[in-house]
């Protein structure tokens, strides 16, 4: 696939790659195993403008298109997948505000999001709901110039560090169908009764916190209703998820790429039966399959990003990219562990970490099963016979 990036966009990707090599890769192994939030890395990313990558220049950002965004996310995930979680939810909030926000909301939030002064979070899931988004129970009741919010949210990335969280709530619980009664509140932590109640312990994806969020009589200004109109929240959040799926697909490519690089290097260094294992046909087959899957996943991800850049509907393309790239990532990381043999099972080697990170990508931003439903529905619409 031809490179359509401008010189400036290529320089940004190269800058991110250099940052990953210098600032992330040397320290991420210890931070990940100790589950330490990467304060120093995040601070440096803010200084370099990472938090404004996906925000338009008029609001102080870099205004990257989706293809550049995908390439940047791949580079960061190659260094440490958790870092992409720090900025992905931030990008989703900026996307929501730029796309659906009122002029006042854009002026109030976007410049601070671009610098990282505001840190964005995204919250849709709830205990017991999972993929059944329309079953959420968090309620927001209008009371003069405020919304009173009560409920509990789950799986909130950046739940502790986020200062503004795009939160899906029910403003009309009696609406039929249910999604028509949902709205998105740009919930700010500065208002009492909104807090991260606990940190969720995870198999992988460490360093970045995943939390439960509680709204206990929390009052948010009515001016924080995204777009200023009730009943639009479900469509708004689903549009953001489409962008998020491109991000998760790019993460899958990045993690798989790192696993492949480690494997092909190890295969040339490790000797058995008097020669490098890279000279054994069984290992060569693994390396060939790994590289082929990664390249296919990368092309699907870039296709989805370019479709989004063109302004076309990209639900099918984003679903295909997310489905294939994340499943391929898990397969590649599994093969990387086999290439490393017993050492792949050791915490001393990075492959063990990649093996714990990969499953999240299959689940996050919609499971593989959900992606297949989305893809099939979109294809049936495109190829309708009557």
CATH of the domain at 240: 1.20.140.10
Same domain, 288 and 316: yes
Residue 174: give the domain boundaries.
Answer: 121-232
Question: CB under 8 Å to 292, separation ≥6 — which residues?
Answer: none
Residue 105 structure tokens: 């909301």
**SS3 at position 306:** helix
- CA–chain centroid gap for 165, Å, is 15
Write down the pLDDT at residue 128.
Answer: 82
Taking only the tens place, the pLDDT of each residue in 37-48 is: 999 999 999 999
Same domain, 299 and 351: yes
**SS3 at position 383:** coil
Same domain, 187 and 271: no
Same domain, 83 and 23: yes
DSSP state of 272: E
Same domain, 16 and 104: yes
Residue 132 structure tokens: 């059944």
- Measure the CA–CA gap between 309 and 320, rounded to whole angstroms: 17
Same domain, 247 and 340: yes
Instruction: Summarize the confidence of residues 313-321 as an average pLDDT.
Output: 95
Q: What share of the chain has pLDDT > 90, as a percent? A: 94
Contact in structure between 113 and 52 (CB atoms under 8 Å): yes
Question: CB under 8 Å to 209, separation ≥6 — which residues?
Answer: 37, 157, 158, 159, 160, 161, 196, 199
φ, ψ at 49 (rounded to 5°): 90, 15
For residue 94, the domain's CATH number is 1.10.540.10
Q: Which of 118, 134, 168 is the last residue of a domain?
A: 118
Same domain, 184 and 195: yes
Write down the pLDDT at residue 2.
Answer: 59
Residue 343 structure tokens: 């050492």
Positions marked catalytic: 365
Q: Is the pLDDT of residue 49 over 80?
A: yes
Taking only the tens place, the pLDDT of each residue in 143-159 is: 999 999 999 999 999 89
Same domain, 174 and 221: yes
Same domain, 78 and 170: no
- Measure the CA–CA gap between 56 and 58, rounded to whole angstroms: 5
Write down the pLDDT at residue 208.
Answer: 94
Contact in structure between 213 and 194 (CB atoms under 8 Å): yes
Sign for the pseudo-dihedral over CA of 326, 327, 330, 331: negative
CA angle 191, 231, 245 (to 5 degrees): 80
Centre a 10 Å sphere on the Cβ of residue 131 and count the other Cβ atoms it contains: 12
Q: Which of 95, 118, 141 is the last residue of a domain?
A: 118
- Measure the CA–CA gap between 48 and 378, rounded to whole angstroms: 39
Contact in structure between 249 and 191 (CB atoms under 8 Å): no
The answer to the question of residue 1 being in a domain is no
Q: How confident is the model at residue 4 (pLDDT cuts 50, 70, 90)?
A: confident
Write down the pLDDT at residue 129.
Answer: 83
For residue 142, the domain's CATH number is 2.40.110.10
Same domain, 84 and 129: no
pTM as predicted: 0.95
Residue 92 structure tokens: 């989703």
Q: Are strands 120-123 and 164-170 parallel, antiparallel or unpaired?
A: parallel
Instruction: Summarize the confidence of residues 340-347 as an average pLDDT.
Output: 95
Taking only the tens place, the pLDDT of each residue in 86-105 is: 999 999 999 999 999 999 99
The answer to the question of residue 140 being in a domain is yes
The answer to the question of residue 315 being in a domain is yes
Write down the pLDDT at residue 132.
Answer: 83
Taking only the tens place, the pLDDT of each residue in 284-306 is: 999 999 999 999 999 999 999 99
Q: Is the pLDDT of residue 131 over 90?
A: no
Q: Is the pLDDT of residue 1 over 80?
A: no
Q: Is the pLDDT of residue 270 over 70?
A: yes
Number of domains in the chain: 3
Same domain, 310 and 187: no
Same domain, 248 and 338: yes
Centre a 10 Å sphere on the Cβ of residue 306 and count the other Cβ atoms it contains: 18
Asked if residue 294 has a cis previous peptide bond (ω within 30° of 0), the answer is no
The answer to the question of residue 356 being in a domain is yes
The answer to the question of residue 47 being in a domain is yes
The answer to the question of residue 225 being in a domain is yes
Question: CB under 8 Å to 349, separation ≥6 — which residues?
Answer: 262, 340, 343
Q: Is the pLDDT of residue 130 over 80?
A: no
Write down the pLDDT at residue 244.
Answer: 94
Q: Which of 232, 266, 291 is the last residue of a domain?
A: 232
The answer to the question of residue 2 being in a domain is no
- Measure the CA–CA gap between 308 and 11, rounded to whole angstroms: 22
Sign for the pseudo-dihedral over CA of 82, 83, 86, 89: negative
Centre a 10 Å sphere on the Cβ of residue 28 and count the other Cβ atoms it contains: 21
Centre a 10 Å sphere on the Cβ of residue 30 and count the other Cβ atoms it contains: 9
Residue 348 structure tokens: 């001393």
């Amino acid at each position: 696939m031809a490179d359509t990036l401008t010189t400036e966009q290529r320089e940004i990707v190269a800058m991110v790659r250099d940052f990953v090599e210098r600032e992330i890769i040397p320290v991420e192994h210890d931070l990940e195993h100790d589950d330490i939030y990467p304060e120093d890395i995040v601070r440096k990313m803010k200084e370099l403008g990472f938090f404004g990558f996906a925000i338009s220049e008029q609001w102080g950002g870099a205004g990257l298109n989706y293809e550049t965004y995908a390439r940047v996310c791949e580079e960061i995930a190659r260094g440490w997948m958790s870092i992409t979680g720090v900025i992905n939810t931030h990008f989703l909030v900026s996307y929501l505000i730029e796309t659906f926000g009122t002029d006042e909301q854009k002026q109030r939030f976007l410049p601070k999001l671009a610098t990282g002064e505001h840190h964005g979070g995204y919250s849709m899931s709830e205990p017991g709901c999972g993929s059944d988004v329309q079953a959420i129970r968090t309620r927001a009741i209008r009371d003069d110039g405020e919304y009173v919010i009560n409920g509990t949210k789950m799986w909130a990335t950046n739940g502790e560090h986020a200062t503004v969280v795009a939160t899906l709530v029910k403003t009309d619980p009696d609406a039929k169908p249910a999604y028509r009664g949902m709205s998105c509140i740009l919930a700010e932590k500065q208002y009492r009764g909104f807090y991260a109640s606990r940190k969720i312990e995870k198999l992988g994806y460490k360093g970045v916190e995943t939390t439960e969020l509680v709204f206990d009589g929390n009052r948010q200004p009515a001016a924080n209703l995204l777009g200023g109109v009730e009943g639009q929240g479900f469509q708004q959040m689903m549009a953001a998820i489409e962008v998020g799926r491109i991000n998760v697909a790019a993460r899958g490519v990045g993690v798989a790429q790192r696993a492949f690089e480690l494997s092909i290097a190890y295969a040339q260094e490790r000797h058995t039966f008097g020669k490098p294992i890279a000279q054994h046909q069984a290992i060569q087959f693994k390396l060939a399959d790994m590289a082929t899957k990664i390249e296919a996943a990368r092309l699907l991800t870039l296709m989805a990003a370019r479709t989004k850049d063109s302004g076309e509907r990209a639900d099918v393309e984003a679903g295909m990219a997310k489905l294939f790239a994340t499943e391929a990532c898990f397969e590649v990381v599994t093969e990387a562990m086999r290439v490393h043999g017993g050492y792949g099972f050791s915490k001393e080697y990075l492959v063990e970490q990649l093996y714990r990170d990969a499953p999240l990508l299959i689940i996050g931003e919609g499971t593989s099963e959900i992606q297949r439903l989305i893809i099939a529905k979109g294809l049936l619409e495109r190829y309708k016979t009557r």
